[in-house]
Amino acid sequence: MNELREVAVTVNGTVYDERVEPRLTLADFLRHSLGLTGTHVGCEHGVCGCCTVRLDGAAVRSCILFAVQVDGHRIETVEGLADGESLHPLQEAFSDHGALQCGFCTPGFLMTAIEFLERNPEPDEDAVRDALSGSLCRCTGYQSIVAAVLDAASRLRQGA
Amino acid sequence: MRFAAYDVRRAPRHANQVKHVPGMSEASTPEHRPLLTGRGRYLDDIRPADALHLAFVRSPWPHARIRNVDADRARRAPGVAAVVTGAELAGTVAPIRAEMEAGGSARYRATDWHPVAARTVRYVGEIVAVVAARDRYMAEDASALVDVEYEPLPVVGDAVSAIRGGATQVHEHAPDNVLFRTEWTSGKKDRFEQAPIRVRFTCRHPRVSGMPMEACGAVASYDRANGTLDFSSSTQVPHILRDGLARCLGISAGRIRVAAPNVGGGFGPKMQLFPEEVAAAALAVRLGRAVKWVQDRMEHLQAAFHSRDVTVEAEAAAEADGRIAGLRAQSLCDVGAYSSFPLGCSLDPQTAGVALPGPYRVPYYHYIGLAVATHKFPTGAYRGVGVPLGPLVTEELVSRIGRAAGLDPVEVRRRNLLRPDELPHESPGGSVYDSGDYPALLQGALGRAPYDGWREERRKARCGAGNGARRRLGIGMSCFVEATGMNRAVYRKRGMAHVPAFDSAVLRIEPGGGVEAFVSTPSQGQGHHESFRRLVGRGLGVPEESVRVVLGDTAVTPYGSGTFASRSMVSGGGAVLSAAAKMKERLCAVAAARWELDARQVRFIIRDGAGGVERTDAHATTGAGIDRMATHGPSAKGPAPALGSEGAASASAGDGSAASPRGAAGTERLEIAELAHLAHTPFLPLPAGVEPGLEVHAAYDPPGVPVSCAAHVALVEVDRLTGGARVLRYVVAEDCGPIVNVAAVDGQIRGAVAQGIGCALLESVDYDEGGQHRSATLMDYLVPAVGDVPDIDIVHMETPSPFTESGIKGMGESGIIGAPAAVVNAVLDALGVSPSGLVLPLTPERIVALAAAGRDPDPTS
């Protein structure tokens, strides 16, 4: 069970080659093996959405995936969203709308929303609420998050 | 106490107004940047090299004697450094024990809660052994190998059976299982007994939990050479936690440093001392290695502080015209197996009792509050504590009085709400309501709704074709008050011995002119950095971006209570303003030394937003707009409190209407940057009694308790067939005095209303009758998701509290206090039912059952 396995994975454009236990979750792999602590673990059972990352573009929950499952795949985390010091328009919109308080759920919301906006560049509010319905925030009451995602859609359309 | 000029009018007043200019938004704050880019530093991001990870062996029994703990197999497991049992720890670690000085008729029994149980377990999840291993995976593996032999004992599963004669005792020294009892009476009973209208209502608020998205945790390391413990925790109360650890470990508090990193939400649970924290600290000392505990969600649901679990049984009487004649109520609070530290188990019975009379004229009040021990996890604070029980019960009683008197729900409230000319008013609950316009708040909320439009929608839903049998709309309303930033007098009256009930701030101006502010009330996401920066920036007349705010580290932040009970802006903010006033005196003293004048011949003045000291002797030009508060007694500008009146004075100075120009630089005015240099250079001789440098400390006990107030109205849709309930629209009208940061206030309200909707419709920590915990996942304990919370419209009023210098009232809890009542009220309105008793949350099953009861006449009125 504890025999180490080879995992080669591209995270935010960087290739990592690591030897891991088969039972190591993707979230723990990102956080503890690679030191990418922007991905947060909120429930460890796939409900809260805090740990959402992108696997070959799709938003997935890294707490209920094993690191060995992403061997040969591409992962994007919140750390890869900004371009150097320049925030992604979605991050800017979150900042301007106060779409975060404690910030713990934020990386999960960002990674969920960015995937959604790529597929739906002109969403209405219902579509945004539907897309975010699998992520929990305990601080904001969601209104500012929904507003930020709608605003980000408009910024992205304008090529902000 | 003298305070800074501060212009409250600079903040935009409309709640939904957010400017969409990058970097310019009212809501944006520099503290968000690391959190948006994955560079936050939360508890689990602290990774000391070579740390041991803890896993806890927990009792599967709600009540059992521990016969034997065999840890041999676990100790031999891979990666394990130590397994420690309760018996091994008992000699070196004192139990968690919350003391009280119960006064008057109140009676209290403290409990001893051993961080690791040695002989008896009293709830499912109680710790019986601790495993420390190289990583969490190994620690959990080994924890499964600890063999514990239990002898199960009879269980007390709920508060009602706990106080029944002959019930099993949770504690030997509490034969009736009552850990706290209080009884208050106010006013004369005659009117209550003779009044023609009598209504009753019983409501059970579920056991809920704050459920921050980041669970709890701690990292402890002990320096044996120096005898110091470094302790990081996801805590709201670094100093109280430090005091608690010191008591349990027998280490002087001065040898313990508690630091809170980014904290992923608090809401109350993170203000209690966790047995895991004591165990982690004890293991760090014992093993001489860094020790780390990161609570997972399952542990959090089982063994992070639960709250409420309160049943209130109440009866109100009213005159024929709907005026309340009196209120009689009893609360039964299931506080679980132990009285938690620091607040103790009197928290809910005391605060529910304070809240029940609400913003109404209640000439007679009789209240009994009981805290009862059961075999469940102990309760602690969660935003609002017992206060939501007030509106939950009283709003329904008032609606029933209205129906009995033939009055519209709005009219019956209007007749009973205290008017502004009746304030200050000593409530029979014990609070003194200071200021505000309760009828105007209700009117403001109804106007924004708009109420007439909602009534029309409700009527259409009742007669609607097609879905007429199923879909119903209901309108709920909730009027309430909240005592905030409670001072030493309140905690003295409550008898809570472990809450210092004051807060402190240190302000330091560096030689280069930059300002540092160290405040004892840390942030868990409420935006304290931004708000304190504004208070300092506007108070001293320095650019806000030059102010660095440091919170949550006992090594550098001054002593204080921490963040809970809506106290940060009142108490922490009060300390900041008090320190700013002292700083201005220091700046004046330095300027006076420079000019070789008496300190009374100089004044601190803010011009164009920039603070400086000007000479007022014959040599200088004098002018209007001078901030007399800096060096002399209270302002002569009128009776209004500091924040409002001086804000206006400062603004007029800032507008350039003050007479004195900056002219003759260096001779008549010294800017803060110049004074900062002078205060730190050896070349300026200072008279005796003037300290060099610019560092001041202020400890602040609010001189009175500001009481914020609000009215909520909710439009809720109920499906009579499926029992589904959805909040369609929601309006809050609130008055928290002068607003420092409107984005932060709105964020607090919206988040708290969402939690209140959760209490009304979704959330419940469940135990079965045998004491088994059943809410092990977030699929069992339902936190409101984005589809459960509507947009929340907010109307602000700003009536400064006359009780404090700033006039600021706290508001962090307000939303969750009003929302359960408004939502429940609306559901009952939609169904047209008045049940004699109600158990929350209103799950689909319960709503279907209520709907089946149909349009029964109110059996109690």
The 3-state secondary structure of B630-681 reads HCCCCCCCCCCCHHHHHHHHHHHHHCCCCCCCCCCCCCCEEEHHHHHHHHHC
Three-state SS for B855? coil
pLDDT at B142: 98
Answer yes or no: do B289 and B423 share one domain.
no
pLDDT at A111: 98
| pLDDT band at residue B667 using 50, 70 and 90 as cut-offs | low
At which residue do the structure tokens 């700003």 appear? B798
Q: Taking CB atoms and an 8 Å limit, are B264 and A104 in contact across chains?
A: yes
Q: Is the dihedral of CA B442, B455, B715, B453 positive or negative?
A: negative
* Residue B282 confidence (pLDDT) above 80: yes
| pLDDT band at residue B102 using 50, 70 and 90 as cut-offs | confident
Answer yes or no: do B682 and B743 share one domain.
no
Token pair for residue A92?
């800017």
Answer yes or no: do B65 and B99 share one domain.
yes
Q: Taking CB atoms and an 8 Å limit, are B787 and A87 in contact across chains?
A: no
Among the listed residues B292, B139, B300, B294, the one whose alpha carbon sits nearest the alpha carbon of residue B230: B292
Q: Taking CB atoms and an 8 Å limit, are A97 and B35 in contact across chains?
A: no
| pLDDT band at residue B625 using 50, 70 and 90 as cut-offs | very low
- Segment B570-598 shows an average pLDDT of 97
* Residue B439 confidence (pLDDT) above 50: yes
Question: Residue B801 domain-assigned?
Answer: yes
> How far apart are the C-alpha atoms of B500 and B617, rounded to whole Å?
44
Last residue of a domain, one of B652, B678, B700: B700
Contact assessment for residue B851 and residue B503, using Cβ atoms and an 8 Å cutoff:
no
Last residue of a domain, one of B656, B682, B700: B700
Domains of chain A, with CATH numbers? 5-80 (3.10.20.30), 89-157 (1.10.150.120)
The DSSP string of B471-494 is EEEEEEEEEEEEE-S--HHHHHHH
Answer yes or no: do B640 and B763 share one domain.
no
Three-state SS for B271? helix
At which residue do the structure tokens 């008197």 appear? B405
Beta strands B306-318 and B324-336, pairing class: antiparallel
The DSSP string of B386-430 is TTTHHHHHHHHHHHHHHHHHT--HHHHHHHHBPPGGG-SEE-TTS
Q: Taking CB atoms and an 8 Å limit, are A143 and B792 in contact across chains?
A: yes
| Amino acid symbol at B768 | D
Find the range with the poorest average confidence among B126-140, B462-476, B544-558: B462-476
Contact assessment for residue B468 and residue B462, using Cβ atoms and an 8 Å cutoff:
yes
Find the range with the poorest average confidence among A105-119, B96-110, B217-231, B654-668: B654-668
CATH number of the structural domain spanning residue B285: 3.90.1170.50
Label residue A98 left, alpha or beta by phi (over 0 means left) and psi (-120 to 50 means alpha). left
Partners of residue A83 on adjacent β-strands: A86
User: Which H/E stretch holds residue B131?
Assistant: strand B127-133
pLDDT at B468: 58
pLDDT at B26: 76
For B23, B49, B535, B565, B576, the CA distances from B528, given in Å and listed in that order, are: 18, 32, 10, 15, 12
| pLDDT band at residue B646 using 50, 70 and 90 as cut-offs | very low
Question: Residue B6 domain-assigned?
Answer: no
Token pair for residue B18?
């957010």
pLDDT at B25: 67
Among the listed residues A113, A48, A111, A93, the one whose alpha carbon sits nearest the alpha carbon of residue B265: A48
At which residue do the structure tokens 């009884």 appear? B183
Q: Which residues of chain B lie closer than 8 angstroms to A40, CB-CB? A: 42, 213-214, 264
Answer yes or no: do B509 and B583 share one domain.
yes
How close, in Å, is residue A133 to chain B by CA atoms?
5
Answer yes or no: do B695 and B661 share one domain.
yes
Name residues whose C-beta falls within 8 Å of residue B164's C-beta, 6 or more positions apart in sequence. none
Q: Taking CB atoms and an 8 Å limit, are A140 and B747 in contact across chains?
A: yes
Mean pLDDT of chain B: 91
- Segment B613-618 shows an average pLDDT of 89
Among the listed residues B196, B328, B199, B203, the one whose alpha carbon sits nearest the alpha carbon of residue B825: B203
Question: Residue B183 domain-assigned?
Answer: no
| Amino acid symbol at B263 | V
How close, in Å, is residue A7 to chain B by CA atoms?
19
pLDDT at B635: 34
Answer yes or no: do B592 and B517 share one domain.
yes
pLDDT by residue (tens digit) across B180-211? 999 999 999 999 999 999 999 999 999 999 99
Quote the domain boundaries for residue B752: 306-488+704-852
Answer yes or no: do B755 and B841 share one domain.
yes
pLDDT at B464: 67
- Asked if the C-beta of A46 comes within 8 angstroms of chain B's C-beta atoms, the answer is no
pLDDT by residue (tens digit) across B797-837? 999 999 999 999 999 999 999 999 999 999 999 999 999 99
Alpha helix ranges (H) inside B144-223:
159-162, 189-194
Question: Residue B27 domain-assigned?
Answer: no
- Asked if the C-beta of A92 comes within 8 angstroms of chain B's C-beta atoms, the answer is yes
ipTM for the complex shown? 0.98
Answer yes or no: do B50 and B119 share one domain.
yes
pLDDT by residue (tens digit) across B486-522? 999 999 999 999 999 999 999 999 999 999 999 999 9
Answer yes or no: do B392 and B313 share one domain.
yes
- Which of the two residues, B264 and B91, has the higher pLDDT score? B264
By the 10 Å C-beta count (0-12 exposed, 13-18 middle, 19+ buried), A85 is classed as exposed
- Asked if the C-beta of B44 comes within 8 angstroms of chain A's C-beta atoms, the answer is yes
* Residue B369 confidence (pLDDT) above 90: yes
Radius of gyration, alpha carbons of chain B: 28
pLDDT at B103: 77
Token pair for residue B391?
């509106």
| pLDDT band at residue B840 using 50, 70 and 90 as cut-offs | very high
Name residues whose C-beta falls within 8 Å of residue B329's C-beta, 6 or more positions apart in sequence. B312, B313, B314, B315, B353, B356, B366, B367, B368, B393
Answer yes or no: do B556 and B407 share one domain.
no
Contact assessment for residue A78 and residue A110, using Cβ atoms and an 8 Å cutoff:
yes
pLDDT < 50 regions, chain A:
none
Question: Residue B439 domain-assigned?
Answer: yes
- Segment B165-193 shows an average pLDDT of 96
Label residue B364 left, alpha or beta by phi (over 0 means left) and psi (-120 to 50 means alpha). beta
Question: Residue B243 domain-assigned?
Answer: yes
By the 10 Å C-beta count (0-12 exposed, 13-18 middle, 19+ buried), B503 is classed as buried
CATH number of the structural domain spanning residue B548: 3.30.365.10
Question: Residue B181 domain-assigned?
Answer: no
The total number of structural domains in chain B stands at 3
pLDDT at B856: 42
* Residue B543 confidence (pLDDT) above 70: yes
- Asked if the C-beta of A144 comes within 8 angstroms of chain B's C-beta atoms, the answer is yes
- Segment B309-335 shows an average pLDDT of 98
Answer yes or no: do B624 and B762 share one domain.
no
Chain A residue with minimum CA distance to B527: A101
pLDDT at B617: 83
Token pair for residue B146?
């600890």
| pLDDT band at residue B620 using 50, 70 and 90 as cut-offs | low
Question: Residue B208 domain-assigned?
Answer: no
Chain A residue with minimum CA distance to B42: A104
By the 10 Å C-beta count (0-12 exposed, 13-18 middle, 19+ buried), B169 is classed as middle
